[in-house]
Structure 1
């Protein structure tokens, strides 16, 4: 085993023996598990008793007579009563009135259905991804922040004096650990939900693979987040300083970019979304065309245009940011005195 491999092994052992690291890793596992369990329970199919109650309610509605009255009024005046097109035949009108005004069992069942596509696009998928990514960023900052707080960096440099090798070993270990952990957690999350959806006959063709691919892209994002947290903490030599800067960027970064007139293409939030969702769109202010001015009845100063940030652009943006931060961090580590 060469010296750099031993250095990697040592850094991995140090990572796995940090209590704070283990707590963050546990949080990245437990929180998605809780979210998944709650989702599965909330979307349980209706019980036999609930179905029977819904059927009784349907029978009561039909027996009350107002359903029949509504259907008859719909047939008598389909345009005024129901807003149907005027070109429908009598048979088509009757069919639509019966379908629209006859109560069904589903109308009395209030159990949401497990929809993986919806969870991927607008449900728990985004939430779980962000939770795991934030946990991995905290992991990256905590791992190296402890070294600076305890003063152990100077001791480490006694055994390996080439600082760039120490920096690289730490970066590889923390980002690799975050990438693997996030990939396992997110893949397991979608595989379990996919199995539940399949057991309920709610799994569409190709949906599970799309969800898994989203999880793998999110794992890449988690690895990038851990590496960024590590690089910034190596630069500022303080976990608190790094978290404060990252919090400030997250809180005011978008507002500042908008105030400076920076296009959404360079907004970190859109680029993160592009990585997670395989591309995203945003609206940019542009000059109105003569046709748009004519349609609006005047020039209101600007119009909006939908634009896209692709997956490749998102990866390129985040990769460039991390490489730049890493280069500055490494240069600082090599040249500054270590207490």
Structure 2
């Protein structure tokens, strides 16, 4: 079995398309991280000076001063009470230009990133790219006809299937864990350098988020491999996955099933260790266990069908 695994690792290393997909699995999350760091950067001293100058100029304009005086004379038109003690302050805040009007700064909040940020996008990217890598890796064996040659050296089909699956799983796991951990560790270090609250507990939450996403992406790569071994065609596998991604959610909605059967909420439940979804006007909880069972049944079912098909069907 070890020799088979070494052979499959060599095959994977020589698949240029697979290597390009693995490189993309590193580059795309890195670009997302860089964009996030850049978008949340604090303004420089020159930018702050420029903003202060713009604010001062705008506040001296006749139009702004007229609006301020109108607010003081007729506060009811601005939604204020004439008898309020801080009318001057309220009118100034409503009519006078504020620094944030000329330059928005959104600090890097890792807690918010865990809930609403690009972390789920990184998981999605890894899932798609690694699934394509698993599909492309074994699809080449069927297209080139080398599968029949491999069976001449190792007639036990179960060992060949297992060796290929193990290589796809291990490589996908290593890539996804390293990339996910590097993504969150980088954001944590940036937040720490900016004094934005970066405790070790928060880092642990981020790394756990990344690990759950990496495991999901690894399972997706294995599923892509299993589907290709079942259909014996990369194109057919991609077509089926595209049809499921486009029509699967629509079909579930047409059947009247609620959000717990939709792919998206179940992915969020796994990665975020639980999530919520809306059932008409009611917000319901969805556990990580439900998501694992939801996708686990699909992956295991696909793998079993793939093994049975590969063991019984003729290999051209």
Question: Secondary structure of 1:161's match?
Answer: coil
Runs of 5+ in structure 1 lacking a partner?
286-303
* Pair 42,91 (structure 1): closer, same or farther in 2 beyond 3 Å: same
How far apart, CA to CA, are the structure 2 residues paired with 1:105 and 1:115? 21
Question: Secondary structure of 1:282's match?
Answer: strand
Q: What's the counterpart of residue 17 of structure 1?
A: 14
Q: What's the counterpart of residue 292 of structure 1?
A: none
Q: What's the counterpart of residue 197 of structure 1?
A: 191
Asked whether the equivalents of residues 190 and 211 of structure 1 are also in contact (C-alpha less than 8 Å), the reply is yes
The answer as to 2:263 corresponding to 1:275 is no
How far apart, CA to CA, are the structure 2 residues paired with 1:123 and 1:284? 24
Q: What's the counterpart of residue 123 of structure 1?
A: 117
The alpha-carbon deviation at position 162 of structure 1 amounts to 1.9
For residue 139 of structure 2, the aligned residue among 138, 142, 145 is 145
Q: What's the counterpart of residue 307 of structure 2?
A: 330
Q: Aligned residue pairs: how many?
A: 315
The alpha-carbon deviation at position 229 of structure 1 amounts to 0.3
How far apart, CA to CA, are the structure 2 residues paired with 1:59 and 1:223? 55
What TM-score do you get using the length of structure 2 for normalisation?
0.88
Matches within 5 A, 1:219-298: 219-285=214-280
How far apart, CA to CA, are the structure 2 residues paired with 1:204 and 1:90? 41
The alpha-carbon deviation at position 6 of structure 1 amounts to 2.6
For residue 165 of structure 2, the aligned residue among 161, 167, 171 is 171
Between 194-203 and 130-139, the greater mean CA deviation after superposition: 194-203
* Pair 94,137 (structure 1): closer, same or farther in 2 beyond 3 Å: same
Q: What's the counterpart of residue 83 of structure 1?
A: 79
For residue 54 of structure 2, the aligned residue among 39, 54, 57 is 57
How far apart, CA to CA, are the structure 1 residues paired with 2:161 and 2:145? 15
Between 35-44 and 22-31, the greater mean CA deviation after superposition: 35-44
Asked whether the equivalents of residues 194 and 203 of structure 1 are also in contact (C-alpha less than 8 Å), the reply is no
* Pair 17,255 (structure 1): closer, same or farther in 2 beyond 3 Å: same
Runs of 5+ in structure 2 lacking a partner?
none
How far apart, CA to CA, are the structure 1 residues paired with 2:170 and 2:295? 17
How far apart, CA to CA, are the structure 1 residues paired with 2:81 and 2:127? 51
Question: Secondary structure of 2:278's match?
Answer: strand
How far apart, CA to CA, are the structure 2 residues paired with 1:329 and 1:62? 71
Q: What's the counterpart of residue 293 of structure 2?
A: 316
Question: Secondary structure of 2:60's match?
Answer: helix
